[in-house]
Amino acid sequence: MNHVDMSGKVCLVTGANSGIGLVTARELVRLGADVILSCRDERKGDAARAGIRQATGRDVAAILYADFASLDDVRRLAAEVQGIGRPLHVLVNNAGLMLTERRTTREGFEYTFGVNHLAPFLLTELLREHLRKSGEARIVNVASRAHKRAQLDFDDLQSERSFDGWTVYCRSKLCNVLFNLELARRLEGTGVTANSLHPGVVATGFGRESTGLWKTILAIGRPFMTSPEGGARTSIFLASDPSVRGVSGKYFATCRPATPSKAGQSRSDAARLWEISERLVAA
């Protein structure tokens, strides 16, 4: 990866207080970018800001707070980003989680689907024009190789019939890959690119809300996982590297193009998911 000068570039990183998002934000600050952190907890946001300042000698541009389990919060976040009065050159849709029990968001959507898919879908839609006006801009969607284990069930996107936390998480990551595919198609000719990625299997706070067997699996696996620094590499690469200028609609792993699952390449499913998501966030 080249050392890129990101001075003058404004970047928004969601889930920026922990794990992959924190390192992504910190390293973009180090590259000279003006980085806006999106967090949901003030205490964690303040700690992230202090850590970034200490590590890089630079402050972040702003911290904005939003709980992605509320689409009203996402709408407020998008308005606040635009209210800063600066262009937006990079949007890193990174916030995400896995649950072991079914919960619902404030609007009543299954929580994993709501936080991992509907929230970044809406945020991106609301910021699309703002990104386009910035000239060249990049959208980076943090998906996962876990999407390869999923098929979408359009008749049960809210997992009401059956809930298994891992299956639902994999589906949400397939949604990220399909969202990216359709987004890139819709962005053609605008100067804004969109790429999704697998960050690796990374030792972060991921799965911290898990219980039972998953808690044990994550604890045992942790020493064998990639560091958050390694996990953030592909996000930083896609956000900043000149070699991917103009590249769009692709899925990356370890800073290289990779092949998503067959389900992740379905243009018809991507279009269908988009239409459904559009209706859900408008409701």
Other beta carbons within 10 Å of 227: 13
Geometric angle at alpha carbon 158, from 187 and 128, rounded to 5°: 20
Q: Is the dihedral of CA 213, 215, 217, 219 positive or negative?
A: negative
Tokens of 172: 């949400």
Residue 21 found at the interface with ligand NAP (CB under 6 A): yes
Binding region for ligand NAP (CB under 6 A) out of 17-25, 29-37, 49-57, 186-194: 17-25
Other beta carbons within 10 Å of 268: 8
Instruction: Give min distance, CB of 26 to ligand NAP, in A.
Output: 13
Binding region for ligand NAP (CB under 6 A) out of 36-44, 84-92, 180-188, 258-266: 36-44
CA 16, 142, 93, 178: dihedral to nearest 10 degrees? -160
To the query of whether residue 111 is one of the catalytic residues in this protein, the response is: no
Instruction: Give min distance, CB of 135 to ligand NAP, in A.
Output: 27
Distance from C-alpha of 114 to C-alpha of 92, rounded to nearest angstrom: 17
Binding mask 169-208 for ligand NAP (x = CB under 6 A): ------------------------------x-xx-xxx--
Q: Which amino acid is at 183?
A: L
Distance from C-alpha of 162 to C-alpha of 174, rounded to nearest angstrom: 18
Binding region for ligand NAP (CB under 6 A) out of 13-21, 159-167, 186-194, 255-263: 13-21
Distance from C-alpha of 119 to C-alpha of 277, rounded to nearest angstrom: 10
Q: Which residue carries 């998002």 as its tokens?
A: 21
Residue 44 found at the interface with ligand NAP (CB under 6 A): yes
Binding mask 57-76 for ligand NAP (x = CB under 6 A): ----------xxx-------
Residue 253 found at the interface with ligand NAP (CB under 6 A): no
Residue 165 found at the interface with ligand NAP (CB under 6 A): no
> 242 in helix, strand or coil?
helix
* Closest alpha carbon to 198 in 255, 136, 149: 255
Residue 115 found at the interface with ligand NAP (CB under 6 A): yes
> 230 in helix, strand or coil?
helix
Instruction: Give min distance, CB of 228 to ligand NAP, in A.
Output: 7
Instruction: Give min distance, CB of 113 to ligand NAP, in A.
Output: 12
Q: Which residue carries 């001075």 as its tokens?
A: 7
Residue 49 found at the interface with ligand NAP (CB under 6 A): no
Instruction: Give min distance, CB of 207 to ligand NAP, in A.
Output: 7
Figure out which of the listed residues 9, 19, 29, 100 binds ligand NAP, where binding follows CB under 6 A: 19
Residue 90 found at the interface with ligand NAP (CB under 6 A): no
Figure out which of the listed residues 13, 20, 273, 280 binds ligand NAP, where binding follows CB under 6 A: 20
**Bridge partners of residue 141, in order along the sequence:** 93, 196
* Closest alpha carbon to 198 in 267, 269, 146, 270: 146
List of residues contacting ligand NAP (CB under 6 A): 15, 17-21, 40-41, 44, 67-69, 94-97, 115, 142, 144, 199, 201-202, 204-206
Catalytic positions are: 169
